[in-house]
Chains A and B, each alone.
Chain A
Amino acid sequence: MKKFRRITLALVLAIAFPAWGQFSEYAVKAAYLFNFAKFVQWPNGTFNSAASPIIIGVLGDDPFGGDLDRTVEGKSVDGHPIRIKRFGAFDVTRVSQLQKCQILFISYSEKDNITEILGAMRGTDVLTVSEIEKFPILGGMILFDQEGQRITLAINPQAAKNSRLTISSKLLQVATIYKSE
């Protein structure tokens, strides 16, 4: 009784491309950004209906190229489709727009405005993600860090909790934990 069937191709690919495999750094980060939706629970009332989209906002220059759009294309999490919104540079007058996102990726280009941005996002139920150094210490939630070739995560669970977001313990397990200063 031989139930297993090998996927030889998959194996060959896995051996041929170690580490990130064939994917670029931002392709991986785009996938991570999308996958956060699976490990984060937004407070009740965040979505108008079961089919309301999860909006991923990109603030500042978009480093993903087309990767982010490709990653989320046709995908949904718990029935919620994924939408991408690009905002350009931080603009105080458009804060209410930013607050409508579920996940906000703050690009490196917004490095100088970070305190202001985090101040504006404080208390709203938006998961903030960035690659700006010390992001979790400054009050951000998830930082894309790097450990050699590998992209790692640094999380400030208290910041998420203040925004009434629940980050799965499974996600916390794979991340470095930080506290705000």
Chain B
Amino acid sequence: MSWFSFSDMRLRRKIMVITVISTLVALVMVCLTFFLYEMMTYPEIRLKSLATWAQIMGDNSTAALTFNDHKTAQEMLATLKANPSILSACLYDNKGQQFASYQRDRAARRRYPAVAEQAGAESSGGSLKIFQDIFSGGERVGYLFLETDTEEMRTRLTHYALITVLIGLISFFISLFVASRLQRYVTEPLHRVVDRMWDIARGEWDITKRLEVSGRDEIGDVAEAFNAFMGKLQTVKDMKSDLISVVSHQLKTPVAEINGFIENMLDGITGEVNSRQRGYLDQMLVIGRGNYKLISDLLSISKIDRGVVSADIHPVSAKEVVALTIRDYEQIMKEKSLILRLEGTEEGIMLYADRDKVVEALRNLLNNAIKCTDSGSVTIRVGSEGDQGVIEVLDTGIGMDEETLGSLFTRNRVLGQEAHRSGAGLGLYISKYFMNIQKGDLTVTSEVGKGSCFKLVVPKYMKQAGTAA
């Protein structure tokens, strides 16, 4: 039964089934009406036609009857051949004696009835008989008898049935064709809407996307309702961003201050620090810096969400950028006994970029590299490719597998096994975003156990006619 479930049918099918069925029902009704009309009027038409024939025949035979000319009468009756539905005919003189006769099928040898006193018609079993007086100059000169068979009736009905079936078939195919054309006007916009919905559902939480409202019909309504829903979602998300933005803004300064105080204490400003105290303070500083990083990432994300991030682009030397990047990390690297190598910083490559954002991205890359490397080195290599400046951060750390790489730059990344080394997992998303808004990019190559290479690209500064500074 399930194969015939109307509710499970695709909309396309449903529309076609409905169209075809209603067309056929209408057609059947029309045919039935004609058929009934025919059934009702046909006997009368037939009788009239037969009466006309009788009239003509009778009128033509007056002279033959009057002047007793059998041969002419016979010849005249023979002209009835022109109407194949007339089965037999008989002409009687005014005394009721057979005068001339006609048989459509000679072999049938139909009997002619005796003359009736009154003219009239009789219908029995589909055959129609008529008796008619023949008058000439006001005097009755004879009678005429005519009989038709059921054949004509039957052929008419068969023709009707054939025509009905034929028209039925034709209109079935036409309506099928038309329906298959017209259903697209319903299903195609619907498919578009559904496809777009799935796009949005599978997408990167970009809820600024909206469906185009294609018409004022129900499908347009669906799109509109969906857009309204997305609008609601947007407000909720905006509220979340606003909340994060406010909270992190309020937290950022105090955390930075606490970190500063800890650094001051470690620097001995508050007096001698014994080794136990130093241990605790170091630990506090690590946590504090982590918090600071997390808070500024969240702030960046909420800025990105609200679309208020813009690049402030100026010429800046690659060397300066690298110097700003490594400033706070030399200490940590020394503690982890990692070697920091700088390459190409003296080549004087000038970038045309937002300095702070490039530095933030690079610091994140360096931070990650240090985090994920237990021994070996971290290299920062400056170079150029065409009119693009390239800064690569290479490490000899744990590397990443395909799965991690695949979702590395997304913000809803599921944290991998190296979760213990991780922060909130937002850094690379923010870094890449910062690069993208200044015609740059961030890409990665990595091999598990061997290390990773992050490649940051931004436009070079071209001083007049494309000469690199």
Chain A interfacial positions (CB closer than 8 Å to B): 1-8, 10-11, 13-15, 21, 28, 32, 35, 37-39, 75-78, 150-153, 168, 170-171, 173-175
- A10 CA / B97 CA spacing, docked (Å): 7
Residues of A within 8 A of B68 (CB): 28, 150-151
Question: Interface size on B (CB < 8 Å)?
Answer: 28
Residues of A within 8 A of B64 (CB): 170, 173-174
Q: Chain A's nearest CB lies how many Å from the CB of B64?
A: 5
Residues of B within 8 A of A38 (CB): 62, 66, 136-137
Q: Chain B's nearest CB lies how many Å from the CB of A18?
A: 9
Q: Does B118 contact A (CB under 8 A)?
A: yes
Residues of B within 8 A of A170 (CB): 60, 62-64
Q: Does B72 contact A (CB under 8 A)?
A: yes
Question: In chain A, what residue has the closest Cβ to B116?
Answer: A4
- What 1/0 flags go to B177-202 for Cβ under 8 Å of A? 00000000000000000000000000
Which B216-256 residues have a C-beta within 8 angstroms of A? none
Extra contacts besides A77-B137, A170-B63, A173-B69 (16): CB < 8 Å: A4-B113, A4-B117, A5-B116, A7-B114, A10-B115, A13-B95, A14-B95, A21-B95, A32-B67, A35-B66, A38-B136, A39-B66, A78-B138, A150-B68, A174-B64, A174-B72
Residues of A within 8 A of B449 (CB): none
Residues of B within 8 A of A152 (CB): 69
Q: Chain A's nearest CB lies how many Å from the CB of B52?
A: 18
CB–CB A3/B67 < 8 A = no
Which B106-145 residues have a C-beta within 8 angstroms of A? 113-118, 120-122, 131, 136-139
CB–CB B122/A14 < 8 A = no
- A168 CA / B121 CA spacing, docked (Å): 30
Q: Chain B's nearest CB lies how many Å from the CB of A15?
A: 8
Chain B interfacial positions (CB closer than 8 Å to A): 60, 62-64, 66-69, 72, 93, 95-98, 113-118, 120-122, 131, 136-139
Question: In chain B, what residue has the closest Cβ to A20?
Answer: B68
- A152 CA / B69 CA spacing, docked (Å): 8
Q: Chain B's nearest CB lies how many Å from the CB of A43?
A: 19
CB–CB B67/A171 < 8 A = yes
CB–CB A4/B60 < 8 A = no
CB–CB A174/B63 < 8 A = yes
Residues of B within 8 A of A174 (CB): 63-64, 67, 69, 72
Question: In chain A, what residue has the closest Cβ to B115?
Answer: A7
In-complex Cβ contact of A5 among B72, B95, B97, B118 (8 A) = B118
CB–CB B63/A5 < 8 A = no
CB–CB A173/B63 < 8 A = yes
In-complex Cβ contact of B120 among A4, A10, A150, A153 (8 A) = A4
Q: Chain A's nearest CB lies how many Å from the CB of B264?
A: 131
- A171 CA / B139 CA spacing, docked (Å): 16
Q: Chain B's nearest CB lies how many Å from the CB of A145?
A: 12
A-B pairs, 10 with minimum CB distance: A14-B97, A4-B116, A38-B137, A10-B96, A170-B63, A174-B69, A3-B120, A6-B114, A5-B117, A35-B66
Given contacts A3-B120, A14-B97, contact A35 B113 (CB under 8 A): no
Q: Chain B's nearest CB lies how many Å from the CB of A26?
A: 15
* Interface CB pairs A-B, < 8 A, 12: A3-B122, A4-B122, A14-B97, A21-B95, A28-B68, A32-B66, A35-B67, A38-B136, A75-B139, A170-B62, A170-B64, A173-B64
- A150 CA / B69 CA spacing, docked (Å): 9
Question: In chain A, what residue has the closest Cβ to B71?
Answer: A174
Q: Chain B's nearest CB lies how many Å from the CB of A181?
A: 25
Residues of A within 8 A of B115 (CB): 4, 6-7, 10-11
Q: Chain B's nearest CB lies how many Å from the CB of A82?
A: 11
Q: Chain A's nearest CB lies how many Å from the CB of B397?
A: 115
Residues of B within 8 A of A4 (CB): 113-118, 120, 122, 131
- A152 CA / B67 CA spacing, docked (Å): 8
Residues of B within 8 A of A14 (CB): 93, 95-98
Q: Chain A's nearest CB lies how many Å from the CB of B90?
A: 12
Highest count of chain A CB atoms <10 Å: which of B63, B115, B116, B139:
B63
Q: Chain A's nearest CB lies how many Å from the CB of B106?
A: 24
Q: Chain B's nearest CB lies how many Å from the CB of A144?
A: 10
- A31 CA / B122 CA spacing, docked (Å): 34
Residues of B within 8 A of A1 (CB): 122
Given contacts A1-B122, A13-B95, A14-B96, contact A7 B63 (CB under 8 A): no
- A5 CA / B63 CA spacing, docked (Å): 26
